[in-house]
Amino acid sequence: MSFFGKLRDRLTRSSSKLSEGLDDIVEQAPAEDSPAEKPGMIARAMGRADAPRRVMDDAMLERLEELLITADMGVSTALKVTANMAEGRYGRKVTSEDVKGFLAQEVTKILEPVARPMPIYPKKPQVVLVVGVNGSGKTTTIGKLASQFRAAGKSVVIAAGDTFRAAAVEQLQVWGERAGVPVMTAPEGSDPASLAFEAMTRAEAEGADLLMIDTAGRLQNRADLMEELAKIVRVIRKKDPDAPHNTLLVLDATTGQNALGQVEIFQKVADVSGLVMTKLDGTAKGGVLVALADRFGLPIHAIGVGEQIDDLSPFDPDEFAKALTGAAEE
């Protein structure tokens, strides 16, 4: 299965919420707008001309806004998207397939400017700091990225900076063995900033292309934990003032709108340079990715839709938009 096919399959919970909601909005049109007979789902699925149609009016746009908000796109993004969808189409009769296509186009417009792979610099080692709250998928993401970079011919070193959780270190070591990437560890409870410094020294000595530093999961409302993260950044910069060259914030899609608050806090502490969104396969809140792109404009480097190594893929805005909205493939 292609990644797009997998994405469409795994985004079922989010796409079903939007797709079915859009069908309802069109089919529950005022009586004067409705055709005498509504073939319903079969006609819609076959793209027939006699599929239900509804005039795009204020009532329809208001329901559309509500639907997008419940899909975790956020109020401001929902208002922007519906206004753009109405431009040039207001007063026209549309089918639900039309609306899905229009919605996919507007979502793509928001996502295109932020869909960028993680930049690779000539600097050796390029330091990649990976941050996020507990359970966001940081450790797994590091393992998958390291494996992919290694497969692309890059030499990679991983630093297991979550020195407080033995399971995280063990998980990274498993990924390291699988990818043929060395994993630096320190005794449980050690200072993660010291480990980061030592890892930079080793990566530099070995001429590694990339150093990926895992960090302990942090609750963004815990000032002490966030200060510890700030310390890691300060110590790294003692060795290289330009490091970390990438700071990836890993976000769990199941947290929905809470992801917005996480971005705000981590940006202040760690100068986040890009986002990775995980667990899109387990939630109906996939629309939050659109809200994040619209509000922060941070690069979205990759998305995760499962546990396997090929379930983390570069972010394609057009494919994501179509999979999210249930729009037909061209």
Residue numbers belonging to the annotated binding site for GTP: 132-139, 214-218, 278-281
CA distance 127 to 210: 6
Other C-beta atoms lying within 10 Å of the C-beta of residue 242: 11
8 A C-beta contact, residue 163 and residue 134: no
CA distance 26 to 18: 12
Smallest Cα–Cα separation from 16: which of 75, 70, 58? Answer: 70
- Write out the binding residues: 132-139, 214-218, 278-281
Q: Helices 166-179 and 138-151, interaxial angle, to 10°?
A: 20
CA distance 214 to 309: 18
CA distance 210 to 205: 12
The one-letter amino acid code at 225 reads L
